[in-house]
Chain A
Amino acid sequence: MKGMTIIVKTISSWVKVLIFLFGIYIIIFGHLTPGGGFAGGVILASSYVLLMLAYGREFAEKNLSLPVASKLDCLGAFLFALIAILGLVLGGSFFVNFLYQKYLPGQALNLISAGTIPLSNIAIGLKVGASLFLVILSLSICCKDFRPDMSANKEE
């Protein structure tokens, strides 16, 4: 996979930053507007997939290598479970919104409001973005030596 022509490379190098920022916006404002962790995570992953399609797999792997993506994936799942367990410890039941009840009673419809829901959205976005990137990366690695063995067919 060598990547595409110079036009596609230039345009995608401009656009990828905007797509990444839009994904972060969707995640952070997930409790106020439509969107949230899953949609924003898919957008984050799609910016890296655009990079992979335009520049080839090696370039995208150099930007976000496979062990780093795997660690981000695990970090997202760990943060989400940590928020849930903290709700159990501090609030008395699983996934209770302990920040909203005790420490941060902020105004509704502000950016900093709703307690642990934005934190959960960030954790889910990290998890979904990293794991979707991992899925497409491993599919393209699967395609790497993609020659059906014709010599074995002729022998039979």
Chain B
Amino acid sequence: MPYALCLLLFVIGLYCAVVKKNMVKIVIGIMVMEYAVNLFLIMLGYRTGGIAPIIDRGHLELETGQIAATFLSSSVDPLPQALVLTAIVISLGSLALMISICIRTYGKYGTFDITEIRRLRG
């Protein structure tokens, strides 16, 4: 069920990016798609009732083998979280690029409507 909702979010973003005529709305749709993918990756590593994958002082009082055992049995998967953190950084960079393209296009044409931006103008 959560995966279906995640897919629904992705489809909403795809609809927004494909159907809308406004450039800013297209950018918003692309970002919604990216967040849907991030949410999907995070949910892959989730376990019900899991804790955050951080070793704190309570863990350190145990033996080394016990630390690994309790950590593995109680925490969520930390690998997709690190991956998604990198993906968020990259989506921030691409968002800045898309916004700057929108600003330059508006300065050149005076509109955000992609059906009116047709002719190449110097």
Instruction: Classify chain B's interface size.
Output: 10 to 19
**Cβ of B103 < 8 Å from any Cβ of A?**
yes
Q: What is the predominant secondary structure among interface residues of chain B facing chain A?
A: helix
Are the CB atoms of B60 and A109 closer together than 8 Å? yes
Q: How many A-B residue pairs have CB under 8 A?
A: 36
Return the contact of A150 from the options B60, B100, B110 (Cβ within 8 A).
B110
CA distance A18 to B99 in the complex (A): 29
Query: Which residues of chain B have C-beta atoms less than 8 A from A34's C-beta?
Result: 52, 54
Determine how close the nearest CB of chain B comes to the CB of A97; give it in whole angstroms: 17
Query: Which residues of chain B have C-beta atoms less than 8 A from A33's C-beta?
Result: 54
CA distance A132 to B100 in the complex (A): 14
Residues of A within 8 Å of B, CB-based: how many? 19
**Cβ of B106 < 8 Å from any Cβ of A?**
yes
Determine how close the nearest CB of chain B comes to the CB of A118; give it in whole angstroms: 16
Are the CB atoms of A148 and B99 closer together than 8 Å? no
Return the contact of B106 from the options A108, A109, A145, A148 (Cβ within 8 A).
A148
Determine how close the nearest CB of chain A comes to the CB of B82; give it in whole angstroms: 10
Query: Which residues of chain A have C-beta atoms less than 8 A from B96's C-beta?
Result: 135, 139
CA distance A153 to B110 in the complex (A): 9
Query: Which residues of chain A have C-beta atoms less than 8 A from B92's C-beta?
Result: 132
Q: Write 30 A-B pairs (CB below 8 A) sorted by A numbering.
A: A33-B54, A34-B52, A34-B54, A38-B85, A38-B89, A108-B60, A109-B56, A109-B60, A128-B89, A132-B92, A138-B100, A139-B96, A139-B99, A139-B100, A139-B103, A142-B103, A142-B104, A142-B107, A145-B107, A146-B103, A146-B106, A146-B107, A147-B107, A148-B106, A148-B109, A148-B110, A148-B111, A149-B110, A150-B110, A153-B110
